[in-house]
Amino acid sequence: MDASIISQMLPLRSRFHRRLVATVVLLGSGLLVGCDRGAPTAKNGGAASSGTDSSTVSSAAQTAVAHNGSARNIVTTTGMVRDIVRQVVGERWTVTGLIESGVDPHLFKPTRGDVKRLNDAEVVFYSGLALEGRMSETFEQLRRAGKPVFAVTDQIEAASLRTPPEFADHHDPHVWMDAALWSQCVEHVGESLAKLDPPHADEYHERATAYRAELTRLDEYARRSIASIPESQRVLVTAHDAFGYFSQAYGIEVKSVQGVSTEAEAGVSDVNRLVDFLVERKLPAIFVESSVNAKNIKAVIEGAASRGVTVRVGGELFSDAMGQDGTYEGTYLGMIDHNVTTIVRALGGDAPEKGMDGKLEAK
């Protein structure tokens, strides 16, 4: 933020005090990570988001952002959030992420450097619904210190969110597995930035609308491709339950060794339960995940083999993290395109080897 603007807004002593308090609060929060049950939000009542509603962006924050002539900095959490924010802001902001590709956000532990980046950011976007665990408290503390902080899932209606039994009163955070729901998050990002930076509101709205059209095309590709899998084989077996929204949106049954969070270890009974299912259904393939240890899937394959059923690994899917930065699979579009194409081809359906637009790396 430009120093001259801040100096017009706050006396020097007040500015120093506020900066010191914000830093101490961040460092004192501990930044413990897990799938906690946070405070409710306006639309998705059980969401641990505590984000800034785009309709309540302070006039001071609007003024500071709108008139800042220096390099603007947005910090995000996961790659999926970072990618949609980049799509909306274009070249107007520098957008970085805390959580690198291949890292499980359920288990992510921020460093002191991450804390500093959050404190130095002009705007923060995160996924919400407790995906980032107890960092939700840290985001709320940042907001109270005056920083614009947004959970991209805040405006999704509660009726559209899953509530797995093991989460009781809490929603499944893996919303990005449904391209249509994730498109709603893009709209929220556009609205939030438009209110924060009114002079460029039209640009944010235009980019958000254009990107949402791409997500509609992706959603249609997923529906069409998944429907081509023979019904008896239309079952997705993975390491943990990150594909519930995928199942709900695209009509494919999902089974997993672990639940929604990867924090709890799967037990022998969980593995045996899945082996029984595979033996009964005689499915041709199951899948590993890029951000989750494959040991449980290997145990399931070995268990099935001991009972005379051969099951192969159909491929590696992106669940809680996207592919490598700089690759097509390292974008949200590429992540979902890869998942859909890999699943469909492994389970006997019809999908082009290089995906929706021929951009996937041939296996």
Residue 185: the pLDDT is 98
Residue 19: the pLDDT is 41
What is the total residue count of the chain?
A: 363
Q: In this structure, which CATH number among 3.40.718.10, 3.40.50.1980, 3.30.420.10, 3.40.50.2300 belongs to the domain 3-220? A: 3.40.50.1980
> Which residues of the chain carry a pLDDT beneath 50?
1-42, 46-50, 54, 67, 69, 260-264
Q: How far apart are CA 301 and CA 296, in angstroms?
A: 9
Residue 18: the pLDDT is 40
Q: How far apart are CA 127 and CA 249, in angstroms?
A: 19
Residue 139: the pLDDT is 84
Residue 97: the pLDDT is 95
* Chain segment 183-238, per-residue pLDDT in tens: 999 999 999 999 999 999 999 999 999 999 999 999 999 999 999 999 999 999 99
Residue 22: the pLDDT is 42
Residue 65: the pLDDT is 59
Q: Which CATH class is domain 228-346?
A: alpha beta
Task: Tell me the pTM.
Answer: 0.82
Fold match flag (3-220 vs 228-346) = yes
Residue 292: the pLDDT is 72
* Chain segment 112-154, per-residue pLDDT in tens: 899 899 999 999 999 999 898 768 778 888 999 999 999 999 9
Domain ranges of the chain: 3-220, 228-346
